[in-house]
Structure 1
Amino acid sequence: MADTLIAQITMLYERFDPALIGALDQIYDSDVVFEDPLHRVEGLVALRRYFSGMVHGLEECGFTFNHILEQRGQAGEPDQAVLLWTMHYRHRKLKGGRRLSLEGSSHLQFRDRVLYHRDYFDAGAMLYEHIPVLGYVIGKIKARLG
């Protein structure tokens, strides 16, 4: 069951587009908790709304899964997986609409559907560094610290 669920997840996220929104109930529990560096949402309805907002401004987005680690739950605990990924995306307001890449990972806890999903990534590398004035300032700070 875990292999099937992980396969569904990776297949759906290969293209992060409006079709994913309609398929969320196939992989997420109605009481799912989703977290990333920018937001925390609880429940499938809130997750659907959050993803709909993200998809809206994207010209392209998809995930390549580089490595997957799975662990079976013990004594009533949910199964877990960590997915290491690269996200490729284009947004008309970031870097002139050029294609960007971001490395990250996801921690999932699941039974027949995902109960908990937490994404780990550098929000600055994803968004802030690509906003013209803010990106310049962040670049200067990084250069000074590095």
Structure 2
Amino acid sequence: MLQQGLERYLQVFTRLHLGLQGLDDCLTEQVEFRDPFNHVQGRAAVQRVLQHFIEHVSEPRFVIQHCAWSGSLCFVRWDFSGVVKGLGDWCFPGVSELHFDEQGRVLRHLDHWDAGTHFYSRLPLLGWLNRTLVARLTAVPHPPYKADE
């Protein structure tokens, strides 16, 4: 039941460019969703967050790399790519922590990815500030992340 719930849910994300069909059936009524920009609770709130995402990111694409289970918790490693209005091409890796109920519906969806490196550093003023702070705090300089690595 849990594996089927995961497959249905991931299908929504791998087809975001087509809309949110099937999302409500994958979520509990009081689902919690958190990523670096949002923290909401409830199906309608999650739907609004994802609809906003679809409206502002064209050609969204999630490629699932790996899934690991521990009881009713699944960690999903993914790579995202898309085009953001005003920023251009955008790609980064991340992990979703998905908690499921007994019917295979998502109770909690917590996204973990580096917004400082993969978003804020690309903004004109914030990017400069972010890069300056990172340079001062980093013991060993490292090259910026590239999606194809």
- Is the aligned partner of 1:92 residue 2:85? yes
State percent identity of aligned pairs.
Answer: 28
From the two aligned structures, give the one with the greater helix fraction. Answer: 1
Aligned residues: 136
Is the CA contact (8 Å cut-off) linking 1:102 and 1:125 kept in structure 2? no
Shift of 1:132: 1.9
Superposition pairs of residues 50-65 of structure 1, within 5 angstroms: 50-65=49-64
Q: After superposition, give the CA deviation of every residue in 1:67-125 in whole Å (9 maximum; x if it has no partner).
A: 101123xxxxxx1111111111211211xx2x221111111111221111111111222
Shift of 1:18: 5.4
The two structures, once aligned, show a CA RMSD in angstroms of 1.6
Superposition pairs of residues 51-130 of structure 1, within 5 angstroms: 51-72=50-71, 79-94=72-87, 97=88, 99-111=89-101, 112=103, 113-130=105-122
Q: Which residue of 2 aligns with 1:47?
A: 46
TM-score when normalising by structure 1: 0.84
Distance 1:126 1:28 in 2: 28
Q: List structure 1 runs of 4+ shifted beyond 4 angstroms.
A: none
Q: Which residue of 2 aligns with 1:15?
A: 15
Instruction: Give, as a single letter, the amino acid of the residue that structure 1 aligns with 2:5.
Output: L
Q: After superposition, give the CA deviation of every residue in 1:7-65 in whole Å (9 maximum; x if it has no partner).
A: 12222211333512x32112111111111222211100111111111221112211111
TM-score when normalising by structure 2: 0.82
